[in-house]
């Protein structure tokens, strides 16, 4: 019931020329996991091309590489080559900025059991992260070291691995149950920090608030954003990550969501603009 009331207020505010999300910067970060699937590949390309035309910005596509056991096994089972997968990442890179999407499996990998906060292996994570990021860079696919964690897995050992591997941005922070960052714990106490913030020296994060795979009401994302931040989201330096998988995105619904955000005063940020914010010190450190 309350959600419908908030929706009505937002829509009435938009009709009255009030923009409740004025000053909030949104960054679409895709979790790209199944480019061997023709439909998933087509969805990513369609969204990234449309977003580029709409905003004059590039979305961020964080990808699993064929070096990750979780994907390597899938490619082997369907006879999809590493070279062909690299070609599809390259096609996505023409319309978005590529980062790494980390999915880590415990040994033996055939068990498909994830590495997470209840069973962690920082050595395994750091090694795979190093190998995958090097693979992306060797093939000219990743120009800035950007990361988003699979299963929302983030803790101090993952942050240490990101810093050791020279990553500049991490878009994992959320309230996922495998997310044990200080920001996640801060959010669970009811006081999230929506700014671009420093997680560790040289590594900055942005808060993942809502998905754009498709929403039942046109103002669902603005409503969730306001609810997550207690309504106090105005002001420069506010950064919100919108996420979606490649395999579950409804592109027309996602585009309508982006248009709705624009109507509420939101703007969209490029990776370069985030880097500029970091460079001028527009950050808030975690505590």
| pLDDT tens sequence across 89-137 | 999 999 999 999 999 987 756 666 777 655 666 688 999 999 999 999 9
CB-based contacts of 208, cutoff 8 Å, min separation 6: 29, 152, 171, 172, 173, 174, 241, 242, 243
Closest to 154 in 3D by CA, of 171, 172, 167, 141: 172
Mean pLDDT for 195-211 is 78
pLDDT of residue 85: 98
pLDDT of residue 55: 95
Split at pLDDT 50, 70, 90, the class of 179 is: low
Closest to 240 in 3D by CA, of 258, 216, 255, 256: 258
pLDDT, tens digit, 9 for 90 and up, residues 21-52: 777 788 899 999 999 999 999 999 999 999 99
pLDDT of residue 127: 93
CB-based contacts of 283, cutoff 8 Å, min separation 6: 195, 196, 197, 198, 204, 277
The pTM score is 0.84
Most confident of 2-6, 22-26, 118-122, 221-225: 22-26
Split at pLDDT 50, 70, 90, the class of 1 is: very low
The CATH number of domain 20-279, selected from 3.20.20.370, 3.40.640.10, 3.90.1640.10, 3.20.20.100: 3.20.20.370
pLDDT > 70 fraction of the chain, expressed in percent and rounded: 68
The total of other beta-carbon atoms located within 10 Å of residue 217's CB is 15
pLDDT of residue 88: 98
Split at pLDDT 50, 70, 90, the class of 5 is: very low
Find the angle CA(74)-CA(76)-CA(81) to the nearest 5 degrees: 105
Domain ranges of the chain: 20-279
* Residue 239 β-bridge partners: 25
pLDDT of residue 228: 54
Most confident of 15-29, 78-92, 100-114, 238-252: 78-92
Q: How much is the mean pLDDT over the chain?
A: 78
Select the more confidently predicted residue: 21 or 216: 21
Distances (CA, A) of 182 to 45, 114, 155, 159, 205: 34, 21, 8, 11, 12
Return the DSSP state at 114: B
């Amino acid at each position: 019931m309350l959600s419908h009331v908030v929706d009505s207020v937002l829509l009435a505010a938009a009709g009255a020329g009030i923009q409740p999300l004025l000053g909030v910067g949104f960054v679409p970060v895709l979790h790209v996991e199944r480019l061997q699937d023709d439909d998933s590949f087509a969805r990513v390309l369609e969204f990234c091309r449309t977003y580029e035309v709409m905003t004059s910005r590039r979305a961020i596509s964080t990808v699993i590489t064929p070096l990750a056991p979780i994907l390597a096994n899938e490619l082997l089972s369907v006879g999809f080559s590493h070279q062909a997968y690299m070609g599809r990442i390259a096609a996505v890179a023409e319309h978005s900025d590529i980062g790494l999407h980390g999915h880590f499996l415990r040994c033996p990998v055939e068990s498909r059991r994830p590495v997470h906060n209840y069973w962690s292996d920082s050595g395994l994570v750091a090694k795979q992260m190093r190998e995958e990021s090097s693979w992306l860079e060797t093939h000219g696919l990743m120009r800035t070291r950007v990361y988003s964690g699979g299963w929302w897995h983030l803790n101090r050992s993952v942050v240490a691995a990101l810093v050791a591997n020279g990553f500049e941005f991490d878009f994992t922070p959320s309230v996922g149950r495998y997310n044990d960052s200080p920001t996640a714990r801060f959010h669970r106490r009811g006081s999230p920090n929506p700014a671009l913030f420093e997680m560790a020296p040289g590594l900055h994060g942005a808060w993942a608030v809502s998905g754009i795979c498709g929403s039942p009401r046109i103002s669902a994302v603005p409503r969730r954003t306001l609810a997550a931040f207690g309504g106090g989201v105005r002001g420069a330096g506010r950064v919100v990550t919108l996420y979606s998988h490649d395999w579950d995105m409804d592109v027309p619904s996602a585009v309508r969501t982006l248009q709705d955000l624009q109507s509420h005063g939101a703007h969209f940020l490029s990776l370069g603009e985030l880097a500029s914010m970091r460079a001028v010190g527009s950050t808030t450190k975690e505590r």
